[in-house]
Amino acid sequence: MNTKAIDIKNIYYPPGGILMWIIIFLELFTFGMALIAMVYYGKQEASVFHDSRMLLNSTYGTINTILLLTSGFFMVVSVQELKTNNKKKSQNYLLLTMLFGFLFLILKTIEYNAKLTIGIGIGFNTFFTFYWMLTLFHVIHVIVGLIILGSIYLGLKKEKSNTTIEDVEASAAFWHMCDLIWLLLFPIIYLLF
């Protein structure tokens, strides 16, 4: 395991790597613009957006936020353990990170199923078009994040691992990006209207 220290104070080496941070900003701007558009349409169709928001279960949204934040916390601990060469502990915390990610997906599936059962699909109204587009796009990011974390876990598990600390930090940055995006989606979709 290569644990060579990188000076993250350097402008070219933010934690997780410069390429990952370019992706993070692009993602934040993409979701940000979509949310601004959603709030704009919410102003035009205030009663539709309010009634539609009341059809959402904000408890699901709150629990999902708690699951993602807890998952992010375990990711931080996993990276810290790896930096102190506790590979086994790092792997265990990585498993916990993924477990909470899976729980997020399970709860999201339950929520989607409840909506589809009562006929609330993507074309139901403007609010739910935004709801489905934004949350599904986010779910895709969570799935990609879990695949990345899974491959990192398998890489760390190997006896002669060629997984570097930079790989783990970049994966962690991607996983935290899922948190950041959700922290913008949750209040606007579930609480604001």
Partner 1 sequence: MVAVVSNNLFTFLIMNKANSFTLIILLVLTITASVISNSSSSSVKMAILGVASLKFIGVAFQFMELKKAHIFWKSSLLFFLTLFSILIWAII
Span of 23-31, 94-102, 116-124, 159-167 interacting with partner 1 by CB under 8 A: 23-31
Total residues in contact with partner 1, by rule CB under 8 A: 45
- Residue 4 binds partner 1, judged by CB under 8 A: no
Distance CA 149, CA 34 (A): 27
- Residue 103 binds partner 1, judged by CB under 8 A: no
CB of 163 to partner 1, least distance (A): 19
Span of 68-76, 103-111, 114-122, 132-140 interacting with partner 1 by CB under 8 A: 68-76
- Residue 29 binds partner 1, judged by CB under 8 A: yes
SS3 content of the chain, % helix, strand, coil (to 5): 80, 0, 20
Span of 67-75, 99-107, 125-133, 140-148 interacting with partner 1 by CB under 8 A: 67-75
Alpha-carbon Rg for the chain, nearest whole angstrom, is 19
From the number of C-beta atoms within 10 Å of its C-beta (0-12, 13-18, 19+), residue 4 rates as exposed
CB of 63 to partner 1, least distance (A): 9
Binding positions for partner 1, rule: CB under 8 A: 8-11, 14-16, 21, 25, 28-29, 32, 35-36, 39-40, 42-43, 58-59, 61-62, 65-66, 69-70, 72-73, 75-77, 80, 172-173, 176, 179-180, 183-184, 186-188, 190-192
